[in-house]
Amino acid sequence: MIITPFVIFIKVIVRYLAYGIPFKKLAWSYKIGKTTVRNIVLETCEAIWEMLSPIYLSEPTQQQYKDITTDFAQMWNMPNCVGAIDGKHIAIKCPPNSGSMFYNYKKFFSIVLLAACDAKYTFTAISVGAYGSQSDGGIFHATRFGEDLLENRLPLPPDTPLPLSSHPFPHYFVGDCAFPLKNNLMKPYPGVNTTRAQRIFNYRLSRARRVIENAFGILTARWRVLRTTMEFHPENAEKIVLACLVLHNFIMLHDMNRWYCSEHYTDGDGRNAEWRNELRSCGGPLRSAQTFRRRGQNSAYNHREHLTNYFMNNGAVPFQNHIE
Protein backbone atom coordinates (compact mmCIF):
# COMPACT_ATOMS: atom_id res chain seq x y z
CA MET A 1 0.00 0.00 0.00
CA ILE A 2 1.34 3.42 -0.97
CA ILE A 3 1.33 5.94 1.85
CA THR A 4 0.61 9.41 0.48
CA PRO A 5 2.20 12.57 1.91
CA PHE A 6 -1.20 13.57 3.31
CA VAL A 7 -1.48 10.31 5.28
CA ILE A 8 2.04 10.82 6.64
CA PHE A 9 1.10 14.39 7.56
CA ILE A 10 -1.94 13.21 9.57
CA LYS A 11 -0.08 10.36 11.26
CA VAL A 12 2.74 12.66 12.34
CA ILE A 13 0.47 15.23 13.99
CA VAL A 14 -1.81 12.65 15.65
CA ARG A 15 1.07 10.56 17.02
CA TYR A 16 2.80 13.64 18.34
CA LEU A 17 -0.24 15.13 20.09
CA ALA A 18 -1.70 11.84 21.33
CA TYR A 19 1.52 10.18 22.51
CA GLY A 20 4.18 12.91 22.68
CA ILE A 21 6.55 10.87 20.51
CA PRO A 22 9.84 12.77 20.07
CA PHE A 23 10.48 14.46 16.73
CA LYS A 24 13.60 12.38 16.14
CA LYS A 25 11.63 9.11 16.39
CA LEU A 26 8.81 10.41 14.18
CA ALA A 27 11.33 11.58 11.59
CA TRP A 28 12.99 8.17 11.55
CA SER A 29 9.62 6.34 11.34
CA TYR A 30 8.44 8.24 8.26
CA LYS A 31 11.84 8.88 6.64
CA ILE A 32 11.51 12.65 6.78
CA GLY A 33 13.64 15.36 8.34
CA LYS A 34 13.34 16.36 11.99
CA THR A 35 12.81 19.99 10.96
CA THR A 36 10.02 18.87 8.61
CA VAL A 37 8.29 17.09 11.49
CA ARG A 38 8.60 20.20 13.65
CA ASN A 39 7.12 22.41 10.93
CA ILE A 40 4.26 19.97 10.33
CA VAL A 41 3.36 20.00 14.03
CA LEU A 42 3.51 23.75 14.57
CA GLU A 43 1.78 24.78 11.33
CA THR A 44 -0.98 22.19 11.78
CA CYS A 45 -1.60 23.14 15.42
CA GLU A 46 -1.89 26.78 14.44
CA ALA A 47 -4.33 25.92 11.64
CA ILE A 48 -6.42 23.70 13.95
CA TRP A 49 -6.79 26.55 16.43
CA GLU A 50 -7.63 29.17 13.80
CA MET A 51 -10.26 26.97 12.12
CA LEU A 52 -11.95 25.38 15.13
CA SER A 53 -11.68 27.88 18.00
CA PRO A 54 -14.37 30.29 16.69
CA ILE A 55 -16.81 27.35 16.77
CA TYR A 56 -15.68 25.18 19.67
CA LEU A 57 -13.99 27.60 22.07
CA SER A 58 -15.77 30.91 21.63
CA GLU A 59 -17.15 32.87 24.57
CA PRO A 60 -20.51 31.42 25.69
CA THR A 61 -23.64 33.49 25.14
CA GLN A 62 -26.09 34.26 27.93
CA GLN A 63 -28.34 31.42 26.75
CA GLN A 64 -25.41 29.00 26.75
CA TYR A 65 -24.57 30.05 30.29
CA LYS A 66 -28.20 29.33 31.23
CA ASP A 67 -27.85 25.84 29.74
CA ILE A 68 -24.63 25.30 31.70
CA THR A 69 -26.43 26.38 34.87
CA THR A 70 -29.13 23.78 34.25
CA ASP A 71 -26.51 21.08 33.76
CA PHE A 72 -24.67 21.95 37.00
CA ALA A 73 -27.94 21.91 38.94
CA GLN A 74 -29.03 18.56 37.52
CA MET A 75 -25.67 16.77 37.44
CA TRP A 76 -23.80 18.26 40.43
CA ASN A 77 -26.52 19.75 42.67
CA MET A 78 -24.94 23.21 42.37
CA PRO A 79 -27.63 25.76 41.51
CA ASN A 80 -26.75 28.97 39.60
CA CYS A 81 -23.23 27.65 38.85
CA VAL A 82 -21.93 28.57 35.37
CA GLY A 83 -18.53 26.86 35.44
CA ALA A 84 -15.49 25.62 37.35
CA ILE A 85 -12.03 27.25 37.16
CA ASP A 86 -8.51 25.97 37.80
CA GLY A 87 -4.91 26.30 36.62
CA LYS A 88 -2.28 23.70 35.63
CA HIS A 89 1.42 23.75 34.75
CA ILE A 90 2.57 22.61 31.28
CA ALA A 91 6.27 21.66 31.38
CA ILE A 92 8.61 23.29 28.86
CA LYS A 93 12.36 23.45 28.30
CA CYS A 94 13.95 26.48 29.97
CA PRO A 95 13.65 29.38 27.48
CA PRO A 96 16.93 31.21 26.73
CA ASN A 97 17.63 34.27 28.89
CA SER A 98 14.39 33.83 30.84
CA GLY A 99 15.91 33.65 34.31
CA SER A 100 13.40 32.33 36.81
CA MET A 101 10.27 33.68 35.08
CA PHE A 102 9.11 30.21 34.00
CA TYR A 103 10.48 28.36 37.06
CA ASN A 104 7.53 27.27 39.21
CA TYR A 105 7.15 26.29 42.85
CA LYS A 106 7.32 22.58 41.88
CA LYS A 107 10.87 23.26 40.65
CA PHE A 108 10.50 22.84 36.90
CA PHE A 109 10.00 25.25 34.01
CA SER A 110 6.45 25.71 32.76
CA ILE A 111 3.74 27.82 31.25
CA VAL A 112 0.36 27.95 32.97
CA LEU A 113 -2.93 26.81 31.48
CA LEU A 114 -5.86 28.54 33.20
CA ALA A 115 -9.27 27.26 32.14
CA ALA A 116 -12.97 27.18 32.95
CA CYS A 117 -15.27 24.34 31.93
CA ASP A 118 -18.94 23.42 31.94
CA ALA A 119 -20.64 20.53 33.74
CA LYS A 120 -19.85 18.12 30.89
CA TYR A 121 -16.04 18.58 30.88
CA THR A 122 -15.98 20.95 27.89
CA PHE A 123 -13.74 24.00 28.19
CA THR A 124 -15.52 27.35 27.93
CA ALA A 125 -12.66 29.82 28.59
CA ILE A 126 -8.89 29.43 28.50
CA SER A 127 -5.65 31.34 28.96
CA VAL A 128 -2.29 29.82 28.04
CA GLY A 129 1.26 31.08 28.33
CA ALA A 130 1.58 32.84 31.68
CA TYR A 131 4.90 32.46 33.47
CA GLY A 132 5.17 29.32 35.60
CA SER A 133 6.38 31.44 38.52
CA GLN A 134 2.96 33.16 38.72
CA SER A 135 0.06 31.80 40.77
CA ASP A 136 -3.24 31.03 39.08
CA GLY A 137 -4.89 33.74 41.19
CA GLY A 138 -2.46 36.32 39.81
CA ILE A 139 -2.84 34.98 36.28
CA PHE A 140 -6.61 35.14 36.65
CA HIS A 141 -6.43 38.89 37.23
CA ALA A 142 -4.21 39.36 34.17
CA THR A 143 -6.37 37.45 31.67
CA ARG A 144 -9.17 38.95 29.63
CA PHE A 145 -11.61 36.35 30.97
CA GLY A 146 -10.62 37.07 34.58
CA GLU A 147 -10.82 40.80 34.05
CA ASP A 148 -14.24 40.53 32.40
CA LEU A 149 -15.49 38.34 35.23
CA LEU A 150 -14.23 40.66 37.96
CA GLU A 151 -15.66 43.70 36.16
CA ASN A 152 -19.02 41.96 35.53
CA ARG A 153 -18.64 42.15 31.76
CA LEU A 154 -19.37 38.47 31.03
CA PRO A 155 -22.85 37.76 29.60
CA LEU A 156 -23.96 35.88 32.71
CA PRO A 157 -27.70 35.43 33.29
CA PRO A 158 -29.37 37.92 35.64
CA ASP A 159 -29.72 37.08 39.34
CA THR A 160 -32.17 34.23 39.82
CA PRO A 161 -33.62 32.74 43.03
CA LEU A 162 -32.18 29.39 44.07
CA PRO A 163 -34.64 26.47 43.91
CA LEU A 164 -37.24 26.62 46.69
CA SER A 165 -36.14 30.19 47.42
CA SER A 166 -37.44 33.66 46.56
CA HIS A 167 -34.24 35.65 47.15
CA PRO A 168 -32.42 36.59 43.88
CA PHE A 169 -28.94 35.10 43.81
CA PRO A 170 -26.10 35.78 41.33
CA HIS A 171 -24.71 33.22 38.90
CA TYR A 172 -21.16 32.21 39.75
CA PHE A 173 -18.10 30.15 38.92
CA VAL A 174 -16.46 27.85 41.48
CA GLY A 175 -12.71 27.82 42.17
CA ASP A 176 -10.20 26.94 44.85
CA CYS A 177 -8.52 29.22 47.39
CA ALA A 178 -6.24 30.73 44.74
CA PHE A 179 -9.06 32.86 43.45
CA PRO A 180 -10.71 35.91 44.99
CA LEU A 181 -14.10 35.52 46.59
CA LYS A 182 -16.55 37.55 44.49
CA ASN A 183 -20.28 37.72 43.97
CA ASN A 184 -19.83 35.71 40.77
CA LEU A 185 -16.94 33.53 41.99
CA MET A 186 -17.31 31.19 44.98
CA LYS A 187 -14.39 29.52 46.77
CA PRO A 188 -14.14 27.26 49.86
CA TYR A 189 -13.95 28.32 53.47
CA PRO A 190 -10.24 28.21 54.42
CA GLY A 191 -8.62 26.42 57.34
CA VAL A 192 -9.44 23.31 59.33
CA ASN A 193 -11.47 24.84 62.17
CA THR A 194 -14.67 25.10 60.16
CA THR A 195 -18.24 24.55 61.27
CA ARG A 196 -20.34 21.65 60.03
CA ALA A 197 -22.25 24.02 57.73
CA GLN A 198 -18.98 25.31 56.28
CA ARG A 199 -17.70 21.75 55.74
CA ILE A 200 -20.89 20.89 53.91
CA PHE A 201 -20.48 23.97 51.73
CA ASN A 202 -16.86 23.02 50.99
CA TYR A 203 -17.96 19.50 50.09
CA ARG A 204 -20.67 20.73 47.74
CA LEU A 205 -18.31 23.23 46.10
CA SER A 206 -15.56 20.59 45.79
CA ARG A 207 -18.05 18.21 44.21
CA ALA A 208 -18.91 20.80 41.54
CA ARG A 209 -15.27 21.80 41.08
CA ARG A 210 -14.46 18.16 40.32
CA VAL A 211 -15.50 18.73 36.73
CA ILE A 212 -12.47 20.91 35.96
CA GLU A 213 -10.14 18.27 37.45
CA ASN A 214 -11.80 15.67 35.26
CA ALA A 215 -11.61 17.94 32.21
CA PHE A 216 -7.86 18.37 32.72
CA GLY A 217 -7.51 14.64 33.37
CA ILE A 218 -9.29 13.66 30.16
CA LEU A 219 -7.33 16.25 28.21
CA THR A 220 -3.91 15.04 29.36
CA ALA A 221 -4.77 11.33 29.19
CA ARG A 222 -5.88 11.65 25.56
CA TRP A 223 -3.26 14.23 24.45
CA ARG A 224 -0.15 13.01 26.22
CA VAL A 225 2.14 15.54 24.63
CA LEU A 226 0.94 17.73 27.52
CA ARG A 227 2.64 15.29 29.92
CA THR A 228 6.04 15.71 28.24
CA THR A 229 8.54 18.53 28.57
CA MET A 230 8.05 20.48 25.36
CA GLU A 231 11.29 21.61 23.76
CA PHE A 232 9.78 24.75 22.29
CA HIS A 233 9.84 28.43 22.99
CA PRO A 234 6.76 29.37 25.08
CA GLU A 235 4.87 30.87 22.12
CA ASN A 236 5.21 27.62 20.15
CA ALA A 237 4.28 25.50 23.17
CA GLU A 238 1.12 27.61 23.41
CA LYS A 239 0.14 26.59 19.86
CA ILE A 240 0.30 22.92 20.82
CA VAL A 241 -1.69 23.41 24.03
CA LEU A 242 -4.37 25.44 22.21
CA ALA A 243 -4.71 22.76 19.51
CA CYS A 244 -5.18 20.07 22.17
CA LEU A 245 -7.83 22.13 23.95
CA VAL A 246 -9.92 22.80 20.86
CA LEU A 247 -9.59 19.18 19.68
CA HIS A 248 -10.78 18.07 23.12
CA ASN A 249 -13.91 20.22 22.79
CA PHE A 250 -14.49 19.13 19.20
CA ILE A 251 -14.39 15.44 20.11
CA MET A 252 -16.40 15.83 23.34
CA LEU A 253 -19.21 17.50 21.40
CA HIS A 254 -19.24 14.99 18.51
CA ASP A 255 -18.32 11.67 20.14
CA MET A 256 -21.76 10.09 20.23
CA ASN A 257 -20.34 6.62 21.02
CA ARG A 258 -18.31 7.98 23.96
CA TRP A 259 -15.02 6.40 22.90
CA TYR A 260 -13.07 9.50 23.91
CA CYS A 261 -14.68 9.78 27.35
CA SER A 262 -16.57 6.67 28.46
CA GLU A 263 -19.01 6.51 31.36
CA HIS A 264 -16.39 5.37 33.89
CA TYR A 265 -13.58 7.55 32.55
CA THR A 266 -14.35 10.39 34.98
CA ASP A 267 -14.75 10.62 38.76
CA GLY A 268 -18.16 9.86 40.18
CA ASP A 269 -19.53 9.60 43.71
CA GLY A 270 -17.41 6.83 45.21
CA ARG A 271 -15.70 6.04 41.87
CA ASN A 272 -12.17 6.86 40.81
CA ALA A 273 -11.68 7.99 37.22
CA GLU A 274 -10.02 5.66 34.71
CA TRP A 275 -7.90 8.57 33.44
CA ARG A 276 -6.09 8.58 36.78
CA ASN A 277 -4.94 5.00 36.22
CA GLU A 278 -3.85 5.80 32.67
CA LEU A 279 -1.72 8.74 33.82
CA ARG A 280 0.08 6.84 36.59
CA SER A 281 2.58 5.51 34.05
CA CYS A 282 3.62 9.05 33.08
CA GLY A 283 3.72 10.76 36.46
CA GLY A 284 0.06 11.37 37.31
CA PRO A 285 -2.11 14.44 36.63
CA LEU A 286 -0.73 17.85 35.73
CA ARG A 287 0.64 19.90 38.61
CA SER A 288 -1.73 22.52 39.95
CA ALA A 289 -0.71 26.15 39.94
CA GLN A 290 0.33 27.66 43.28
CA THR A 291 -2.48 28.90 45.49
CA PHE A 292 -2.80 31.71 47.98
CA ARG A 293 -5.63 33.50 49.76
CA ARG A 294 -7.23 36.75 48.70
CA ARG A 295 -9.63 38.94 50.62
CA GLY A 296 -13.04 39.14 49.00
CA GLN A 297 -15.83 41.69 48.96
CA ASN A 298 -18.17 41.91 51.94
CA SER A 299 -21.16 41.21 49.69
CA ALA A 300 -19.39 38.09 48.41
CA TYR A 301 -19.01 36.79 51.98
CA ASN A 302 -22.73 37.38 52.47
CA HIS A 303 -23.52 35.45 49.28
CA ARG A 304 -21.32 32.55 50.36
CA GLU A 305 -23.05 32.51 53.75
CA HIS A 306 -26.45 32.55 52.04
CA LEU A 307 -25.43 29.62 49.83
CA THR A 308 -24.10 27.77 52.88
CA ASN A 309 -27.42 28.16 54.69
CA TYR A 310 -29.26 27.08 51.56
CA PHE A 311 -27.27 23.83 51.41
CA MET A 312 -28.02 23.16 55.08
CA ASN A 313 -31.76 23.67 54.67
CA ASN A 314 -32.54 22.23 51.26
CA GLY A 315 -31.66 18.57 51.03
CA ALA A 316 -28.59 16.38 50.85
CA VAL A 317 -26.39 15.01 48.09
CA PRO A 318 -24.58 11.62 47.98
CA PHE A 319 -22.11 11.11 50.85
CA GLN A 320 -23.15 14.31 52.63
CA ASN A 321 -24.04 12.20 55.69
CA HIS A 322 -20.34 11.31 56.05
CA ILE A 323 -19.53 14.92 56.95
CA GLU A 324 -19.36 15.32 60.71
pLDDT tens for each residue of 70-118: 999 999 999 999 999 998 888 999 888 777 778 777 788 888 888 999 9
- Range in 173-182, 262-271, 307-316 with the lowest mean pLDDT: 262-271
Query: Which residue would you say has higher pLDDT here, 140 or 236?
Result: 236
276 pLDDT band, cuts 50/70/90, is low
Query: Which residue would you say has higher pLDDT here, 269 or 199?
Result: 199
Residue 135: how many CA atoms within 13 Å on its side-chain side? 13
Report whether pLDDT(152) > 90. Answer: no
Give per-residue burial for 243-270: e unless 16+ CB within 10 Å, then b: bbbbbbbbbbeeeeeeebbeeebbbeee
- Range in 16-30, 132-146, 202-216, 275-289 with the lowest mean pLDDT: 275-289
Per-residue pLDDT tens over the stretch 247-256: 999 999 998 7
Q: What are the phi and psi torsion angles at 268 (to 5°)?
A: -130, 180
CB 41 within 8 A of CB 13: yes
Q: What is the pLDDT of residue 292?
A: 47
266 pLDDT band, cuts 50/70/90, is confident
Report whether pLDDT(303) > 90. Answer: yes
Per the prediction, the chain carries an average pLDDT of: 84
Report whether pLDDT(187) > 90. Answer: yes
Report whether pLDDT(209) > 60. Answer: yes
- Range in 81-95, 276-290, 306-320 with the lowest mean pLDDT: 276-290
